[in-house]
Amino acid sequence: MNADALVTFNGPKNTCEVALRGSVSAQAMPSGEVVPYLVDEVKLPKGALFDIVTIPNVNVAEYEQVMAALKAAGYKRVPGIHVGFLTEPGHDR
């Protein structure tokens, strides 16, 4: 399954980038603006699929806040096996 939105956590910059399916560019923003961007600006419907990418030194608190907000907004992570690499926070997703 393809994600409707791909959220990249850019650890060193403490920001995120959001790329929409079919888009060739990503929108950079503070992590706290990811969900308002998807809900209010993009109007991504509830039930849409998202996936994540992490760049080393991810802020665990920011990561957890964004993941919780995505789920609370009704978005679902792409199903399947997700392998946690050394760059990802070591928490259950």
Q: Please list the pLDDT of the chain residue by residue as tens digits (93 residues).
A: 689 999 999 877 878 999 999 988 999 999 999 999 999 999 999 999 999 988 888 888 889 999 999 999 999 999 876 555 544 555 444
First and final C-alpha spacing in the chain: 18
Amino acid occupying residue 14: N
- Decide: 53 and 27 in contact? Cβ < 8 Å: no
- Give the predicted TM-score (pTM) of the model: 0.82
> How would you classify the pairing of strands 76-77 and 5-10?
unpaired
Instruction: Write down the number of H helices and E strands in the chain.
Output: 2, 5
- Decide: 13 and 57 in contact? Cβ < 8 Å: no
> How would you classify the pairing of strands 5-10 and 49-55?
parallel
Instruction: Delineate the domains of the chain, giving CATH numbers in brackets.
Output: 5-77 (3.30.420)
